[in-house]
Structure 1
Amino acid sequence: MSDTITPADRPSNPYLVLASAVVLPGSGHVMLGLPARGLQFLFFMVILGWVTTKVAPPDASFIGRHAGGFLIYALSILDAYRIARIRHATWAHRTRPDGDGAGNGANADV
């Protein structure tokens, strides 16, 4: 393995992934290279949105009638952002200027 870091190795900006996930459900996962995970979230958004329309009272608001779908939508935003933050933090830790990658010297020979 080479120790050189190329710009292609840099992960997506977590805030860009967050904005993408908010604007279009599932797109944050696609940016992260996890399209199947994004599709799964979309599937469950539709299913739970449909289920809550059947269970909710007729006088409920739009949000109340589709609460299950909005719950999964919120969870997908959080999930995409969490994955992006972890990848970015891992990348930042590996590319530190001191170059040891050990953090606090835990792997240093004593």
Structure 2
Amino acid sequence: MTNSATDPTPPNPYLVLGAAIALPASGHVILGVPVRGLQFLFFTVILAWVTAKIAPPDASFVGRHAGGFLIYALSILDAYRIARIRTAKWVHNARRGNDSAQGGIEPHT
């Protein structure tokens, strides 16, 4: 069983969310999964380019690059989801460690 004293504190999910909104792939870099962020960035650029090629000429900028904006939005949600899950696991393990250290409920093995 891991002890919360040895587990590093995960980054704040709101920090990760803000970074992911400000700069694509930066939220994943903060989380320590830069390859996943680069994959999202690659597909953002590719789908924006493909959408720009097939969109009608009178479409707005967002309409011409809608595929890229879709992947960008998904990458923001993905980075935030990973940060929230890691934080929830860290909090859960910290509470479990405190319960067993105080002679409370023993963790299941």
Gaps of 5+ in 1: none
RCO comparison, higher one (Cα < 8 Å, 6+):
2
Deviations 1:35-87 (A, max 9, x none): 00000000000000000001100000000000000000000000000000000
Q: 1:44 to 1:2 in 2, by over 3 A?
A: closer
Counting helix residues as a fraction of each chain, which structure ranks higher? 2
Aligned to 2:69: 70
Q: Which residue does the alignment assign to 1:24?
A: 23
Instruction: Please give the alpha-carbon distance, in whole angstroms, between the structure 1 residues aligned to 2:43 and 2:31.
Output: 19
In the aligned structure 1, how far is the partner of 2:69 from the partner of 2:45?
9
Return the alpha-carbon distance in structure 1 between the equivalents of residues 106 and 3 of structure 2.
19
Shift of 1:3: 3.0
Cα distance, 1:98 vs. partner? 1.9
TM-score, length basis structure 1: 0.86
Single out whichever of 8-17 and 29-38 deviates more from structure 2. 8-17
Specify the code of the residue in structure 1 equivalent to 2:108. Answer: N
Structure 2: 5+ residue stretches without partners: none
Q: Distance in 1 between matches of 2:66 and 2:9?
A: 36
1:58 aligns with 2:57: yes
TM-score w.r.t. the length of structure 2 is: 0.86
Give how far 1:99 is off: 3.7
Cα offset, 1:107, TM superposition: 2.5
Question: Per the alignment, do residues 4 and 42 of structure 1 end up closer, same or farther by CA in structure 2, a change over 3 Å counting?
Answer: closer
Name the SS for the 1:3 alignment partner.
coil
RMSD: 2.3
Identity of aligned residues (%): 67
After superposition, where does 1:1-110 map in structure 2 within 5 Å?
3=3, 5-6=5-6, 9-96=8-95, 97-99=98-100, 107=108
